[in-house]
Amino acid sequence: MAIDQKYCEVSQPLDDWVPSSIQVRILEGVAAGLSSGRLSRELHLSSKTIDYHVRVMSDKLQAPNRVALVSRAFVLQILRTDTWPPRIDPEAMD
């Protein structure tokens, strides 16, 4: 199976991106496999707000879907690899 290189490279530098506190909670939930509906209930936000933040983070990390978003967050060491459920590395937060 061939790997499409356009999904393996992030062309824009991410040094300036620091996830907000709500993005942190949403990214952790997405990484744990929670749906927008479940996240909206747990975080007391609308599912449209959840989807908006997922889309913003996906655009920033150039991820075409939630799986790629989580994968990139792990590769970029935004999400820690030593915890379950997934947690943000404190150094990656604002």
Residue pLDDT, tens place only, 40-61: 999 999 999 999 999 999 999 9
Beta carbons within 8 Å of 59's beta carbon, 6+ residues apart = none
> What is the reported pTM?
0.78
Contacts 24+ apart (CB under 8 A), 82-88: 85/28, 85/31, 85/32, 86/28, 86/31, 86/32, 87/28, 88/19, 88/24, 88/27, 88/28
As a whole number of angstroms, the longest Cα–Cα distance in the chain is 42
**CA 66 vs CA 6, 59, 91: distances in Å:** 16, 11, 22
Confidence of residue 88 (pLDDT cuts 50, 70, 90): confident
